[in-house]
Structure 1
Amino acid sequence: MLGNLFRAETSTLQDPSDELWDALCGPQSAAGKVVTADTAMRVAAVYACVRILSETVAALPFNLYQKTAKNNREVASKHPLQMLLHDLPNEEMTSMDFRTQLMAALQLRGNAFSEVERDRAGRVHGVWPINPDKVWVGRSEKTKRLSFEIHDGDMRTLTPQRMWRVAGLSTNGIIGLSPISQAREGIGLSLALEEHGARLFSNGAKPGGVLQVEGKLSDPAYARLRKSWSDRHQGGANAHRVAILEEGTKWNQIGMSSEDAQFLESRKYQRSEIASMFGVPPHMIADLEKATFSNIEHQSIQFVVYSLLPWLKRIEQSIFRDLLSPVERREYYAKHSVEGLLRGDSKSRSEFYKNLFNSGAISINDMRRLENMNSIDGGDQHWLQLAMAPITQSREPSSSGSSND
């Protein structure tokens, strides 16, 4: 792996210090746990955040649109890219599967790469995901263009025309930072806390201690005492069993109790910290400690605006850059529909529709489409209330022939 970081004809865009450290020492946190994208998913909060973000984005309506007259738009149903985005990106994956994988790669590794298949006319007819760990990005010193080396058995190089890439938060605009690497210490602490809890209950929910005896035990006596104690008291099923100590043996507890170490409070804090790292409201990963019925709806809207929209913009603009030709960019663009996530409850939607309908902004059929209902005849007509009038017109005109006598 290290030999592929520097090549004569390319200049690296990746910082080799992290690669070198991970290769020599492993991506180990100060808590003593190795933190990678795979081990991080063992933390329930990380798994929940990645699942919420990935599946929510993948479930959103996603279409390729074509610009029409008067700044209108319509779904580009005849364009081959529409089927790839909306239905089948390749012959093995559905759109839901592909986009879930793409978002998971972004959340865990900070980058998502897909190999692009094109026909002789240059049109996209398939996209295949690539493990970001197997992609090295460089820049050619001759052409100054990006190049992508894929190390999945046999090394091969792809040009930008054959690669669809999406990057997360980045310091150079090309390579995204891995959220797992940036939050290594917090996730490592969560892994250590989970292991501590598991070991605590495997030992009957009691911290470690020592059995003290007078004199020196022979090897058979030592082995018998250790086996007898483990068989009778180790494991959650043996918690609180009465200990029988023979011939002056004494039990001395050592170490802090879970209360002294604030074990539960530490786990709660790590869960909240991980949720904030991914930008997921705590109530969405079953942390309802500070949630109320009055603020959950607003937190959900904030989740769409501040957490989802940046990712949706990255995906949409990367499609504009990598999957559309310069000519197609003039009239085509990809767009997610998030209106369904912002509509709120039935009462809020009713007020929203009423205000837009009364101002003539939407029609009856527009509202029915938003509610996934069929259109009706005559429902495309827009209406405008005209009950208001200037105050000067409210005066009754004077009758003809009146005098000021």
Structure 2
Amino acid sequence: MKRTTFLLLFGFVLSFCQAQSETGGEETAGEEEHVELFTTPATKMGAATSDFGYNLFRVLASREAAANIFLSPISVSAVLTQLSMGGSEQAERQLFRALRYHTLQDPQLHNTLRDLLASVRTSGKGLSTAARMYLARRLRLKQDFFTLVEQQYGVRPKALLGGAKDVKEINDWVAQETGGKVQRFLAKPLPRNSGVNTVSAAYFKGKWVTRFSQSGAMDNFQVDGGTTVRTPMMQQDNYPIKMGVDSDLSCTIAQIQMQDDVSMFIFLPDEVTTNMTLLEESLSAEFVQDLSMTLLPAQVSLTIPALRFSYSTDLLPLLSDLGLSDWLQNPDLEKISAQPAMLSSVNHKVVMETAPEGNQYPSVTSTANHLSYRVDRPFLFLIRDEASGALLFIGRVANPKDLTV
């Protein structure tokens, strides 16, 4: 495995960090051997759902250039995996390849995913998700499929009623599953002559391990084009993070610890730009796992935007770019209905908030610390479950002024 080389911003900080991570520093020296990073069914599943998420994010990012975009890949994986249970063997193989499951060789794949979903939705992690299929009654649906999905994932697919009734049903169910945090999932009825529709939603509000002393103070955020916008920021001196500089990707990377074994990675380009294609193309489960082992600890003056946003989209147009063009033409959902059943929508919505709260105060030091990490220009971030490596959230913030809830 080729490790990314990181250079810290100041020499004295590098010495400080190396003194605190002597054992980790020695491992990166000299010729390196390939190390298998994912060795358990849970971590292998976490890597697969993450790589699917990175692929999906890249497609969305290329279509929505210079825009704020956000996804919760694990909730999309959950609902598309439910859908795969309704296909023929060939259709299942096609979906599994897009979902990156073909690399797993896991005979208990559905059990592994179910257990992973349960573990990342424990209350302390701050994540709640909803994933369900809604199917047209005209398809003469097979009830055995409904029962199979319910037994495996604890949620029963639902037959559509039509029009405004479906909007209310879906919106009420998503709100219930997310503790009332994801509202108005659908703003308009599903497509006319709808067939198979997937619904996936997620809400995240994790808490930091180390709290911030200031939150909500307005500060300048530089946007592409040379202008600035005022946005609420969180700030704290002597904040413990892990960080490094990737000269190949022209960005500084920080890992900020959250409670219950969750962390946020922030990728901050050196220049003010929304063109993050090179960075986006580099993302993979292996790359981010490698980051978690090679970034070095430091105490910094940390300033980050106080994020609060809602984002929704129909992911159906993106699936063809994930190798599913042929499958979309003939999904062969024979276990759902004997009639031809086509995928009509893949609606997805996420809501996320950050707050200054944490269960620890930063350390008090008499030594002046001149290292700062100031996120005041377009950046990319991800939220990751450290135990499994699963990607919970990923987003690109181009202009925080455009974030809405």
TM-score (normalised: structure 2):
0.23
Between structure 1 and structure 2, the one with the greater Rg is 1
Structure with the largest fraction of strand: 2
TM-score (normalised: structure 1):
0.23
Structure with the largest fraction of helix: 1
